[in-house]
């Protein structure tokens, strides 16, 4: 597979292999770019930004609508590729492609809603005989750095609003899952996007990422990934806009009055979707002591029923983690937690990159599997008696992306909604619920700014004031 630089699909002698994490079969290779390619990309993106800002809103929206239509017509093809290169099962992959179609369509719609407004200059002394307004204009070059866990839709969440806002984009997809991102670029060009507007560069972050991040021609970095990489980007970026989605350790409160079966079903799905490699996946569940045993039994039973294995099997519920190295890390965390007193209720074993869905209890709050983001198929259960204490535990960590509460008591729901420090609180829904048009992002170490098309567009455009004196 080739990459897109300066309107050309190029190949290089040095290649990076892309493997299926389930069976380690070679899917394809991707060019390994170097620092010389970085300068080409930046120069081309500068030219592209001048072209992008001249595209009418009608042209931008039509490109995005057409891309969505092409993707919808090739849904199964994209799902097959996505499932092979990632941890997603084929059913999970189809859902992600469908969400990507929606993300692109919403981007097309929101491009038409980039509004300004008139300003009443004469509402203050010194403003007489003046009329004016503000409008929003493109900021220029956006560097989009995307993760492996949603390798198609999270690319669309950056490309869609960037194009809608009239910007050019440099896309650096995850090295282990670049193929579906490149395919998306192909259909963007097929839909009429001028090739100068989009650059795709693949390679290792230390070689190509740092010079891109540090370059002043880049006006915004939109990054989704881990906290360590996020902090490094912030330290290198200089004065430019930053959009950072950095993960979480999502808490759930299950109260005694809730629909227990629904809470179990939602939390199992939220915990083990994409093998737990989900920034808003369920990790800590605090259950009222009255219903703890019942919830635990149902949750473990439902978890044990999950079928793991071949991602391409329609019956498979959960596939492998992205690499055997990551799976080994999670296995070690589980073993460390057990040494510190945790009990394995189910799972806990590993075969290559496949970690069995794991449920723990009695986890020490000093264990890293409690206080860090596990980013794997592991859930910790805790009994609790006091709702305020549950909120306190939810806020205890330096993460704040999503939280959830299951209750029929509207007063408790509001208490959680306003009391938990995070970017979103889901009521009677798992933490992993996300509508692609809603504002999405976190507080504390979970990030800066918000994604969601309308909200990303605000970040990717700037207001300019126009004032007329008519004396």
Could you read off the pLDDT of 363-387 as tens digits, one per residue? 999 999 999 999 999 999 999 999 9
CA 67 – CA 164 distance, rounded (Å) = 13
Report the C-alpha gap between 471 and 450 in whole angstroms. 42
Res 275: pLDDT: 97
Residues 285 and 456: their CA atoms lie apart, in Å, by 31
Domain spanning 3-246+446-469: which CATH class is it, in words?
A: alpha beta
pLDDT at 315 over 90: yes
pTM: 0.95
The mean pLDDT value for 131-137 works out to 96
Phi-psi region of 138 (alpha: psi -120 to 50; beta: other; left: phi over 0): beta
- Please give the structure tokens belonging to residue 291: 């219903």
How many Å apart are CA 446 and CA 237, to the nearest integer? 18
| Domain locations in the chain as residue ranges | 3-246+446-469, 250-436
Nearest-angstrom CA–CA distance, 124 and 426: 43
CATH class, domain 250-436, is alpha beta
Rounded to the nearest 10 degrees, how much is the dihedral formed by the CA atoms of 217, 218, 219, 225?
-170
Residue 7: other Cβ atoms inside 10 A: 15
- Statement: residue 180 has pLDDT above 90: yes
> Which helix (DSSP H) or strand (DSSP E) does residue 424 occupy?
strand 424-427
pLDDT of 27 higher than 90: yes
Query: Residue 39: which of 8, 6, 10, 15 has the closest Cα?
Result: 6
Q: What is the pLDDT of residue 205?
A: 84
Contact present, 263 and 297 (Cβ < 8 Å):
no
In terms of Cα–Cα distance, which of 105, 3, 103 is closest to 63? 105
Where do we find the tokens 């004196």?
469
For residue range 335-370, list pLDDT tens digits in order: 999 999 999 999 999 999 999 999 999 999 999 999
CB-CB contact of 358 with 342 (8 Å): no
pLDDT at 471 over 90: no
Structure tokens that stand for 60 in this block = 């931008």
Tell me what pLDDT residue 204 has: 87
With cut-offs at 50, 70 and 90, classify the pLDDT of residue 271: very high
Res 374: pLDDT: 97
**Long-range CB contact pairs, 411-418, < 8 A, 24+:** 412/255, 412/387, 415/387, 415/391, 416/253, 416/387, 416/391
Angle ∠(441,444,448) on CA atoms, nearest 5: 40
Check if the beta carbon of residue 416 is closer than 8 Å to that of residue 389. Answer: no
Detail the DSSP E strand segments found in 139-217: 141-145, 168-172, 198-200
> How far apart (Å, rounded) are the C-alpha atoms in residues 331 and 334?
5
Question: Does the active-site annotation cover 372?
Answer: no
Q: What is the mean pLDDT of residues 405-414?
A: 98
Q: What are phi and psi of 131, to 5 degrees?
A: -130, 150
User: Does the structure show a pLDDT above 90 at 267?
Assistant: yes
Nearest 10 degrees: Cα torsion 233, 235, 236, 239:
100
In this prediction, residue 241 has a pLDDT band, given cuts at 50, 70 and 90, of very high
| pLDDT of residue 408 exceeding 90 | yes
| pLDDT the model gives residue 206 | 82
pLDDT digits (tens, 9 = 90+) for 272-308: 999 999 999 999 999 999 999 999 999 999 999 999 9
Mean pLDDT along residues 21-50: 96
Per-chain mean pLDDT for the chain: 97
Amino acid 306: pLDDT: 98
Q: Predicted confidence band at 464 (pLDDT cuts at 50, 70, 90)?
A: very high
Residue 435: partners with Cβ closer than 8 Å, 6 or more residues away: none
> Is 279 labeled as catalytic in the residue annotation?
yes
Is the CB of residue 9 less than 8 Å from the CB of residue 201? no
**Which of the following is catalytic: 85, 92, 96, 245?**
245
The CA-atom distances, in angstroms, between 264 and each of 296, 302, 401, 442, 445 are 9, 8, 21, 25, 28
Q: How many whole angstroms separate alpha carbon 15 and alpha carbon 32? A: 5
Reported as a single tens digit per residue, the pLDDT across 183-214 is 999 999 999 999 999 999 999 888 899 999 99
pLDDT more than 70, % of the chain: 100
Share of the chain above pLDDT 90, in %: 99
Phi, psi angles (nearest 5°) of residue 148: -85, -20
Average pLDDT over residues 148-162: 97
Which tens digit of pLDDT belongs to each residue from 103-120?
Answer: 999 999 999 999 999 999
What is the model's pLDDT at position 439?
96
Q: Which member of 196, 279, 422, 459 is catalytic?
A: 279
State the CB neighbour count (10 A cutoff) for residue 356: 20
């Amino acid at each position: 597979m080739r990459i897109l630089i300066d309107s050309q699909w190029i190949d290089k002698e040095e290649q990076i292999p892309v493997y299926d994490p389930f069976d380690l079969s070679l899917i394809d290779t991707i060019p390994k770019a170097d620092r010389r390619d970085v300068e080409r990309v930046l120069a081309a993106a500068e030219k592209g930004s001048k072209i992008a800002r001249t595209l009418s809103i009608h042209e931008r929206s039509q490109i995005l609508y057409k891309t969505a239509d092409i993707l919808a017509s090739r849904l199964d093809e994209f799902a097959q590729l996505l499932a092979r290169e990632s941890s997603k099962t084929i059913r999970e992959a189809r859902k992600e492609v469908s969400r990507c179609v929606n993300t692109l369509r919403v981007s097309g719609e929101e491009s038409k809603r980039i509004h300004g407004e008139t300003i009443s200059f004469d509402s203050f002394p010194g403003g007489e005989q003046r009329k004016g307004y503000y409008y929003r204009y493109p900021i220029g070059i956006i560097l989009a750095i995307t993760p492996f866990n949603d390798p198609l839709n999270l690319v669309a969440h950056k490309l869609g609003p960037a194009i809608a806002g009239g910007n050019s984009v440099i896309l650096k997809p995850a090295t282990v899952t670049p193929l579906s991102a490149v395919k998306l670029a192909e259909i963007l060009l097929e839909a009429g996007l001028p090739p100068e507007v989009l650059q795709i560069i693949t390679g290792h972050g230390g070689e190509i990422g740092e010079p891109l991040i540090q370059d002043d021609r880049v006006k915004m970095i939109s990054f989704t990934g881990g906290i360590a990489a996020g902090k490094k980007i912030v330290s290198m970026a200089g004065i430019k806009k930053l959009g950072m989605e950095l993960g979480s350790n999502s808490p759930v409160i299950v109260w005694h009055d809730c629909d227990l079966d629904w809470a179990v079903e939602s939390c199992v799905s939220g915990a083990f979707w994409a093998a737990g490699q989900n920034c808003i996946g369920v990790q800590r569940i605090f259950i009222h002591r009255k219903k703890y045993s019942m919830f635990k039994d149902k949750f473990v039973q439902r978890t044990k029923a999950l079928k793991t294995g071949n991602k391409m099997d329609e019956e498979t519920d959960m596939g492998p983690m992205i690499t055997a190295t990551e799976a080994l890390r999670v296995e070690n965390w589980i073993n460390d937690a057990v040494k510190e007193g945790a009990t394995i209720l189910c799972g806990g074993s590993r075969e290559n990159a496949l970690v069995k869905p794991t449920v723990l209890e009695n986890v020490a709050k000093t264990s890293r599997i409690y206080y860090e983001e596990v980013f794997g198929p592991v859930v910790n259960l805790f009994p609790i008696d006091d709702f305020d204490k549950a909120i306190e535990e939810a806020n205890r960590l330096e993460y704040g992306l999503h939280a959830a509460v299951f209750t029929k008591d509207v007063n408790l729901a509001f208490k959680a909604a306003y009391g938990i420090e995070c970017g979103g609180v889901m009521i009677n829904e798992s933490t992993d619920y996300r509508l692609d048009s809603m504002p999405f992002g976190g507080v504390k170490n979970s990030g800066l700014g918000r994604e969601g098309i309308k909200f990303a567009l605000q970040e990717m455009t700037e207001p300019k004031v126009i004032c007329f004196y008519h004396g």
